[in-house]
Amino acid sequence: MVEVKADHIMDACGLYCPEPVMLLHNKVREMTSGQVLQVLATDPSTQRDIPKFCTFLGHELIAQDADEERFFYYIRKGE
């Protein structure tokens, strides 16, 4: 598992597309530039959606990881 210090954690476990990305969008709006968000999710589509979200909106996907049950994403908010 990746070790990154997160300023915020967002739990999207049990939610399905498009809910995790909708919550992510709202959460990132509340953050300041440079802060790191850890996202926990169970929906496999987040493996595609979250990297695209970051690329499209200019945020840095620092790392992504998974265990048997969840996907983990670490996102640094862009300018």
* CATH number of the domain that residue 72 is part of: 3.30.110.40
Domain-embedded: residue 45? yes
Domain-embedded: residue 18? yes
Tell me the pLDDT of the chain averaged across its residues. 96
Domain-embedded: residue 24? yes
Averaged over 12-36, what is the pLDDT? 97
Domain-embedded: residue 19? yes
Where in the sequence is the domain holding 65, given as residue range(s)? 8-76
Residues of the chain with pLDDT > 70: what percent?
97
Query: Which residues are annotated as catalytic?
Result: 17
Domain-embedded: residue 3? no
Q: Is 28 exposed, middle or buried (0-12, 13-18, 19+ CB in 10 A)?
A: buried
Residues of the chain with pLDDT > 90: what percent?
94
* Structural domain count of the chain: 1
pLDDT value of residue 2: 64
Q: What is the pTM of this model?
A: 0.93
Structure tokens at 53: 């979200």
